[in-house]
Structure 1
Amino acid sequence: MDEEGVNEEPAPGSCSDPTEFLKLKPKKSILKSSSRQQTYVLSVYIFLPIAYLFRCPEQRGAHFDEMNILATLHPPDKDYGFMKIEEPKTPYSYLSEGELDDGPSDSHRRVSLCDVPNIDPSALQEMYNCLLSRQLRSASPYSLDAESDSDSETEEQRAKRLEFEKKRKLHYNEFRAMQKAKERLRNDEDTDKEDGEQASTTPM
Structure 2
Amino acid sequence: MKKSIFTIFALLALLAFNTTSRAGTYYVVSGEPFSLAPASGSTSFFQYLWTLDPGTGQVIRTLDQASGGVLTHTFGDGTATSASLHKITLGVLTALDGCLSEVVEHTIIVLPKLTVSITADKENFCSNAAVNSKLTATVSAATGLDTYGVTLSPFAWKLGSNAVDGQTSSVLNVTAPGTYSALVTYVLPTTGSFIPTASKIAGAIVGGTKQILNNLPLPTAPAITLN
Tell whether the structures are fold-level matches, with TM greater than 0.5: no
Query: Which has the larger Rg?
Result: 1
Could you say which structure has the higher strand fraction?
2
- Structure with more contact order per residue of length (Cα contacts < 8 Å, sep ≥ 6): 2
- Larger fraction in helix: 1
TM-score, normalised to structure 2, is 0.19
Instruction: Tell me the TM-score normalised to structure 1 length.
Output: 0.20
